[in-house]
Structure 1
Amino acid sequence: MKRLLAINISKIMKFIDIGANLTDPMYQGIYNGSAKHEPDLPHVLERSWTGGLDKIIITVGTLADCAPTFEIVKNDERLFATVGCHPTRCGEFVPDPEGYFASLCQQIEQHREKVVAIGECGLDYDRLQFCDKAIQQQYFEKQLELATKYDLPLFLHCRNAHDDFAAILQRNRDKLPRRGVVHTFDGSLEVAEALIADGYAIGINGCSLKTEENLSVAAKIPDKSIMLETDSPWCEIRPSHAGSKYVRSKYPTVKKKEKWEAGSLIAGRCEPVMIR
């Protein structure tokens, strides 16, 4: 009886992928600037819907992502988007800060029914070669104004920067109408508990489950504080990850991109359907 119940639940459960980078060139068949196969985003989406996803939020990481993102989501009631600037791209603000901010506002206002969060924004001190700390901090804080102005939650990114990240959020705490989610979380239990205590959810994907320590942290996060994401095409659970021993789902997969088939996944390229 319990087995039958588990099977029935697995058939009716629907998932929301809260973060997928569906404008990535990989879904156009392009890898490191080289075309390997035909664009296959429609196949990726169809696999998602038939595989149990109910909704997908496409992550925007720069102003240039907005046009292709809203082209994808405009005619599908299951697709939504964030609007914001990834910390490694915050240098794009510098030539014309107010103009860039105004353009983000324009994108939100033009697509208000599709925009469900501000982001991906935050701090990334692991990749300072792309944008220095001062610029990241300045324009992370600036983007919090978007959350206030449009009454939207935050889709947050934090890498090796928790103290500064937390300080900026705390400084603006009373201005933020909602909280949000810290995606691809791979920090300590202490950090997770502090974020949860302040009202934030914890985003879990394959990169959150790399080590035994990661698994220990994830196991202690309350279910109600977890949001699931794939961060496609990145952050799959790889065979080398500690979390791989718990993976039960299997999908038809080709190892070489050049051997692409419409009905198969590609090894090394994550898809929303892999959230199950």
Structure 2
Amino acid sequence: MTNTAQPPQQPEIPDVLSEKKLRYVDIGINLGDPIFRGVYHEKQAHDDDFHDVVQRAVEAGCEKMMVTGSDLKESEHAVQIAVENPGLCYATVGVHPCSAKQFDTHAGGPAALLSALEDLAIRAKASGHAVAFGEIGLDYDRLFLTPKEPQLKYFEAQLDLAVKVQLPLFLHSRAASEDFERLLGARLPELPKRGLVHSFTGTIEEMQRLVALGLDIGVNGCSMKSEDNLAVVKEIPLERLQIETDGPWCEIRPSHASAKFLAGAPPMPKAVKKEKWAKGLMVKGRNEPATIPLVAHVIAKVKGVPVEEVAEAAYNNSIRMFGLGSMENASS
């Protein structure tokens, strides 16, 4: 396990982040990725700046972060990050659809992997470190990673496990809406807190059907690449919206349709190529939770409402669904 000692009390934070900020929950951040340790393609490109990344997020108003679990190993890592960053980081536990073939290649077979996931989820839920079951779902865009049949089989198995553990869902759906909605619809009555479809890129009609099922919709930079994406975001009810960065991916790029709405957004620290990294700087192409105000800003512009309204609605929706250490959710 990578060393994640507590950050220094007075980290070097750029002045641009010192002004008063709104409060945010980043419901999808892959803090377990080696890139946040300065490791790119298994090579150390610069010093480990994990704590700078975390502290920048806090200074940007990001009060809570949900660290995504994508398989058993990464779920264990996400829980460990939550343990080492109490009150700030929380974990999800599950196997991503693109990794679902791991059930058939696991040393003890599918039953052993499901049992290990169940044990981890139960223990981490009891300690307050795991708040969702996921990232689970279906991805028919990347069948070369895991074919359709294993995806379907182990999505069902993990949905049953989520019902048993009674954690809200952290969901992934790509080009699979019919099967996705069919399998979900059968089990949602047994999951009172429902869940969230993260990094949503589907159609308005798909979004409306998911909302009708009682699910929330997660929006990040990848959710706002095109004009069609923006039309969907405009229609997401504020009471069903949550926001995320999905870092180190899904940044808002100049080529995206959303980029034109960034005028007037909070300034970000300077970003440089990884080879020129220095303490206090961001890395070009590596998205991080400090950029979550940009997501809220674009959503507000698209919807024509104050950013304060977007930020507060999303924050409250995340606390309502996932608890995240909130006292009113402590007994949920």
TM-score by length of 1: 0.93
Question: What is the alpha-carbon distance in structure 1 between the residues aligned to residue 273 and residue 187 of structure 2?
Answer: 47
2:227 paired with 1:212: yes
CA–CA distance in structure 1, aligned partners of residues 271 and 213 of structure 2? 43
Q: Tell me the amino acid that sits aligned with residue 110 of structure 1.
A: R
Once the two structures are superposed, the pairs formed by residues 56-205 of structure 1 within 5 Å of their partners are 56-75=65-84, 76-95=86-105, 96-112=109-125, 113-205=128-220
Q: Partners in 2 of 1:174 and 1:203 — Cα distance?
A: 21
Aligned length: 267
Long gaps (5+) in structure 2:
1-18, 294-332
TM-align CA RMSD: 1.3
* Separation in 2, partners of 1:275, 1:146: 31
Distance 1:167 1:51 in 2: 39
Matched-pair contact (CA < 8 Å) for 1:148–1:177: no
| 2:185 and 2:213 in contact (8 A); partners too | no
How far off its partner does 1:94 sit? 1.1
SS at match of 1:13: coil
Establish whether residue 33 from structure 1 lines up as the match of residue 42 from structure 2: yes
Quote the residue 1:6 is aligned against: none
Specify which of 265, 271, 279 is matched with residue 262 of structure 1: 279
Q: CA deviation at 1:12?
A: 5.1
Letter in 1 for 2:234: A
Could you list the runs of 5+ residues in structure 1 that have no partner in the other structure? Answer: 1-9
SS of structure 2 residue aligned to 1:111 = helix
2:31 to 19, 22, 34: 22
Q: Secondary structure at the match of 2:267?
A: coil
For residue 106 of structure 1, report the CA deviation from its aligned partner.
1.4
Q: State TM-score, norm by structure 2.
A: 0.78
Any idea what the Cα deviations from partners look like across 1:186-237, whole Å, max 9, x if unmatched?
A: 1111110000011000100000000011111101111111100100100000
Tell me which amino acid in the other structure corresponds to 2:91. Answer: A
